[in-house]
Structure 1
Amino acid sequence: MNLKFVLGSTLLVAGLFAATPAVHAEDLVLGQTTVRAVKTPDRGLTMSQVEKRFGAPDAKLPPAGGDTPLHPTINRWKYDGFTVYFERNIVLHSVRDGA
């Protein structure tokens, strides 16, 4: 291959990516249903950080696991619209209700 062709193609692709605007959706429309974006805790936050930012949960569900070091305790907190899953006291995932 020609070096000029490779460099030109690379610059063209890089230019296309640079010209693409960043996209952030607040609402997702699926047919006649609109799904609202729900802000949820990010992975890695502690329980105290989640409670500070999102307030007290609606419910703290019974912990699961914790029977061996390979099965750490999983805690679940229910909020209006989502559930937060913790490994010990660190956020693993936040899942929107109905997802």
Structure 2
Amino acid sequence: MKKKHNLSAALGLAALLVTAMAPAVQAENLAVPVGSQADRSAISLPSNGMSQASVRQRWGNPLDIRGPVGQPPISQWHYTDFVVYFERDLVMHAVVKRQKN
């Protein structure tokens, strides 16, 4: 019985020491001023689920193609004002590029 008590006390002390030595976790919020965010309503963007062929037909050839990388394969098509992200052949997301002043 005494061995169980000693083991329990030792485990409790070990847990306390590990907790005390662990670094504090901090989160940081990043605020982007509204004026510097891109206006998605001012530009025509590909919709999620569109095929690469449909994007090419509507917006033409991209200026740059990066990828595919990873599994599933993800590629990026860069246009003048936006970037389109594809998973395999379908649009996952389109992002408006920030305009430089």
Shorter-normalised TM-score: what interval? 0.5 to 0.7
Structure 1-normalised TM-score? 0.57
1:95 is aligned to 95
1:84 is aligned to 84
Aligned residues: 65
- Output the aligned Cα RMSD: 2.7
Cα distance in 2 for residues equivalent to 1:62 and 1:52: 20
Cα distance in 1 for residues equivalent to 2:68 and 2:80: 19
Shift of 1:44: 0.5
Cα distance in 2 for residues equivalent to 1:62 and 1:89: 12
Shift of 1:38: 1.3
Name which of 66, 73, 93 aligns with 1:61: 66
Shift of 1:61: 1.1
Shift of 1:75: 0.7
Name which of 33, 39, 43 aligns with 2:44: 39
Shift of 1:64: 1.6
Cα distance in 1 for residues equivalent to 2:77 and 2:91: 10
Structure 2-normalised TM-score? 0.56
Cα distance in 1 for residues equivalent to 2:64 and 2:45: 16
User: Which runs of no fewer than 5 residues in structure 2 stay unpaired?
Assistant: 1-33
Structure 1 runs of 4+ with >6 Å offset? none
User: Percent identity of the aligned residues?
Assistant: 37
CA-to-aligned-CA distance 1:30-57 (integer Å, 9 cap, x gap):
4xxx957111101110000000000000
Cα distance in 2 for residues equivalent to 1:59 and 1:50: 14
